[in-house]
């Protein structure tokens, strides 16, 4: 059985490999694409989505694809299904830091700390606060109440926020995907931590933005595709909502001339949420090793993706 793995993970993974496994370690996208052609197991993550997708597509014989990424929207999941490739993702390996960023976004918006920083840069001493919102006794909707969404909810609860999560199963304490739109006017914060699928793309559009409170903020740590950005620019410009904190946008990187950069009350964090950590790669390697032994033993895999649902 042949496995193709990133050379960066070698010190973390190699001591725990089972006997008899043929391993090839890649150091470039070109090597990954070439090596994976006849591999049974592939962890071919590349930090450039088109090259990652090409490497995955080249793995025609892959029985199991492991990835550190949570979202698979850059991959041809239909092709993976047709090949019978099982896929596990990295859901949870950076969940804490993304959740921290989401709550930071709400705090920055509430206190307008972006303006506080600019005031300090001008060496001024204000006698009034630019942001006066309190999280205490506000209400939040978290769309996508999976690993990250639940962590967001737990942290918001610590600030005294009433949290409503959205899950596709309607788990206890959450609502179903067909129920949140009619309740948008009740929330001060709308958090997006859902994956990008055919059903979720542009889930926040003109109608949803009109339904939100004029004082409400949108916080997106999911995917840029979840939001109709033209509708968001119009809603914020016309003050239909208070603003948005965007960790994710589309396209990425956002071109310098894009109007999202200059739209008032839109705050950006340039998809840094998942990178603001020191242990994600260690956790990913540990997850891979556990799954590798489970795969060889025929046991269930952690974080196995439903390729039909896309997550």
CB of 294 within 8 A of CB of 300? yes
Q: Which fold has domain 2-91+278-297?
A: Rossmann fold (3.40.50)
Give the pLDDT band (50/70/90) at residue 217. Answer: very high
Dist CA 211 CA 205 (whole Å): 10
Q: Is the dihedral of CA 20, 14, 84, 297 positive or negative?
A: positive
Cα–Cα distances (Å) from 111 to 72, 117, 134, in that order, read: 35, 11, 8
Of the candidates 56, 11, 10, 7, the one whose C-alpha atom is nearest the C-alpha of residue 36 is: 56
Give the pLDDT band (50/70/90) at residue 170. Answer: confident
Please give the share of the chain, as a percent, with pLDDT higher than 90.
Answer: 88
Dist CA 81 CA 90 (whole Å): 19
Q: Is the dihedral of CA 38, 40, 46, 52 positive or negative?
A: positive
Give the pLDDT band (50/70/90) at residue 203. Answer: very high
DSSP for 86-110, written as a single string:
EEE--TTTTHHHHHHHHHHHHHHHH
DSSP alpha helix (H) spans, 127-273:
147-157, 206-211, 229-237
| pTM of the predicted structure, to 2 decimals | 0.87
Q: Break the chain into its structural domains and give their ranges.
A: 2-91+278-297, 95-275
Domains 2-91+278-297 and 95-275 agree in fold: yes
Q: In which residue are the tokens 């930071």 written?
A: 104
CA 106 to chain centre: 17
CATH number listed for the domain at residues 95-275: 3.40.50.720
pLDDT digit string (tens) for 221-270? Answer: 999 999 999 999 999 999 999 999 999 999 999 999 999 999 999 999 99
């Amino acid at each position: 059985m042949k496995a193709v793995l990133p050379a960066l993970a070698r010190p973390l993974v190699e001591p725990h490999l089972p006997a008899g496994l043929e391993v090839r370690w890649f150091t470039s996208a070109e090597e990954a694409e070439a090596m994976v052609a006849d591999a049974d197991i592939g962890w071919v993550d590349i930090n450039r989505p088109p090259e990652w997708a090409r490497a995955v597509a080249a793995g025609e014989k892959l029985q199991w694809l492991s990835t550190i990424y949570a979202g698979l929207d850059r991959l041809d999941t239909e092709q993976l299904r047709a090949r019978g490739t099982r896929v596990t993702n990295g859901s949870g390996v950076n969940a804490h830091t993304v959740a921290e960023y989401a709550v930071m976004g709400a705090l920055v918006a509430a206190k307008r700390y972006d303006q506080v920083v600019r005031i300090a840069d001008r060496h001024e001493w204000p006698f009034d606060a630019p942001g006066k919102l309190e999280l205490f006794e506000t209400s939040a909707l978290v769309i996508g109440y999976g690993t990250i969404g639940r962590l967001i909810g737990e942290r918001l609860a610590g600030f005294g926020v009433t949290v409503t999560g959205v899950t596709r199963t309607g788990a206890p304490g959450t609502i179903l995907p067909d129920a949140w739109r009619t309740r948008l006017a009740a929330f001060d914060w709308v958090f997006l931590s859902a994956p990008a699928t055919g059903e979720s793309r542009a889930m926040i559009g003109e109608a949803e933005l009109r339904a939100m409170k004029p004082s409400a903020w949108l916080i997106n740590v999911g995917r840029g595709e979840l939001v109709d950005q033209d509708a968001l620019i119009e809603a914020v410009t016309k003050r239909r909502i208070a603003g948005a904190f965007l960790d994710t946008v589309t396209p990425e990187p956002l071109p310098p001339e894009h109007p999202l950069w200059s739209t008032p009350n839109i705050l950006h964090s340039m998809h840094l949420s998942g990178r603001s950590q020191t242990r994600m790669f260690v956790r990913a390697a540990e997850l891979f090793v556990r799954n590798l032994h489970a795969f060889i033993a025929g046991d269930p895999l952690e974080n196995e993706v439903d390729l039909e649902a896309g997550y």
